[in-house]
Amino acid sequence: MKNFIIIILSVVLIICLVRISDLSIHPDIVGQYQAIDGLPDYYDFNSRKDKFTLSKNDVIIQEGAVEAIEHNTFLCKSEDAAFVITLNKKGFYLVIEGKAYNFRKVTSVPSGI
């Protein structure tokens, strides 16, 4: 019985560690991100430390300033909108026109800014 409890606790600990590693903090938002689920439209997010652009089908639809709020959370502000991005291990999610898109980092070098 004691071994069974140890095995169960070990499995729970391993599952928790895997989930935590999926949420690991990446404090640097600089780079180019692409929506992996946006077809037929193509969404692209480029960021430097202080500014960003959001493009749809290679046409800029928003651009503005980026401010760090917390270690992995950033406030993006343009003239007509503001949104918060929280980076996870692979990228971030962003709601555009009522739909959530999964953006993944393509490169650490931003383009088009």
Residue bearing the bigger pLDDT, 113 or 59: 59
Helix%, strand%, coil% for the chain, nearest 5: 20, 45, 35
Q: Domain of 68?
A: 25-107
- pLDDT tens per residue across span 13-45: 565 445 544 444 445 788 999 998 867 888 999
- CA 44-50-52 angle, 5° bins: 15
C-alpha separations of 64 from 6, 45, 103 in Å = 52, 12, 18
CB 51 within 8 A of CB 68: no
Give the pLDDT of residue 100.
87
- 11 belongs to a structural domain: no
- 10 belongs to a structural domain: no
Contacts of 33 (CB under 8 A, 6+ apart): 44, 45, 46, 47, 91, 92, 103, 104, 105, 106
Instruction: Say yes or no to pLDDT of 66 above 50.
Output: yes
Domain count of the chain? 1
- CA 83-86-91 angle, 5° bins: 110
Mean pLDDT confidence for 54-60: 92
- pLDDT tens per residue across span 89-100: 889 999 888 888
Give the pLDDT of residue 41.
83
- 64 belongs to a structural domain: yes
Q: Which two tokens stand for residue 99?
A: 């739909």
